[in-house]
Amino acid sequence: MPKILQAGYPRSGNTLLWKILSEIQTARGEFRSFSRDTGFRQVKEFYEKEKLIHSEDAHVDKFSIVDGELAYVYPNEDMRYVRVAPLLFLEASSLLFTHDLPSLFLDRPGFDRIAVRFYVCRDPRPVYVSLCHHSVRPAILNLLPSLEIKTIEEIMRHDDLTVRWAERWKRHVRSYLDHREAFELIRYESLVSEKRETLRRIVAIVDPGSPFEGREQIVDSVLRVTDFESMQKASPGHVRKGGASEWTSEITSHARRIVEEIAGDEMRALGYRPADA
């Protein structure tokens, strides 16, 4: 089974896709974690347990390119990025994950040997709503006691935040579109509304040599451990509703217009329709 790289903008279904991919590798006995094998997992579980997003977050091999160098992302603001030897990191992990722009890492040494790369995307309007909810979580507010914004409604009245998040989504997706030939695209909406068929596609990409019956067994296994109730139980502060359309009743018309005006071209390129389309 090939090594896998997963990339995506925050709040776009990254946790769900990582769980799916790790379960597929685990079913084949091929999941390897740099975090686990180097001791970072134990350090994170002991010192940073309250900051871990879900029950298996300590195993996640998340990286970022910082000042031109590969860094391991650690869940502590005082030592957020830990420089590691790139080849050691790439060799020790079977599933690498990043929020970085694809343009930042695709041409780096060693990444050309990663045969399977997934990019997970989500409509920017529910991404915006999810970012609003994430920003007023108690854990986030405790980290930023001077922050005056305390509610979803207050955030949505700050046009500067709406513009900033929409522009970041646009830039991230544009980087993917410029390198789309290097990735398999997975839409969060398909993971929710067409989960079995999407899982079949993912398993066929990751494990193309296995017989159909074997792939179906993996699909059934992954479905059981990635249903909404299981995911929410594992990460109650991170997984909120599990649907793909609840955002329509939460976003203000003003914020929606800002997002669509900024990111409209990229939305259309991914098949998302602005309200005026």
Instruction: Please answer whether residues 53 and 234 qualify as being in contact, where contact means their C-beta atoms are separated by less than 8 angstroms.
Output: no
CATH code, domain carrying 16: 3.40.50.300
Whether 53 is in a domain gets the answer no
- Displacement of CA 213 from its chain's centroid (Å): 29
Strands 4-8 and 61-66: unpaired
Q: Is residue 212 part of a domain?
A: yes
- pLDDT tens per residue across all 277 residues of the chain: 789 999 999 999 999 999 999 999 999 999 999 988 888 777 777 656 666 555 567 789 999 999 999 999 987 777 789 999 999 999 999 999 999 999 999 999 999 889 899 999 999 999 999 998 887 776 655 555 555 677 788 888 889 989 999 999 999 999 999 999 999 999 999 999 999 999 999 999 998 888 878 899 999 999 998 886 766 665 555 555 555 567 888 899 999 999 999 999 999 999 999 886 5
> H/E element holding 255?
helix 253-270
How far is Cα 5 from Cα 112, in angstroms, rounded to an integer? Answer: 11
Distance of CA 225 to the CA centre of its chain: 18
Strand partners, 98: 7
- Number of structural domains (the chain) is 1
The answer to the question of residue 59 being in a domain is no
Domain-embedded: residue 153 = yes
Domain that holds residue 245: 4-31+94-270
In a domain, 199, yes or no: yes
Instruction: Report the distance separating Cα 273 and Cα 277, nearest Å.
Output: 6
Q: Which helix (H) or strand (E) holds 253?
A: helix 253-270
**Residue 247 Cα distances to 7, 127, 128, 193, 222, angstroms:** 23, 9, 9, 15, 26
Does 244 fall in a domain? Answer: yes
Amino acid at 162: T
Residue 65 lies in a domain: no
CA distance 73 to 94: 16
Position 86 in a domain: no
CA atoms within 13 A on the CB side of 84: 24
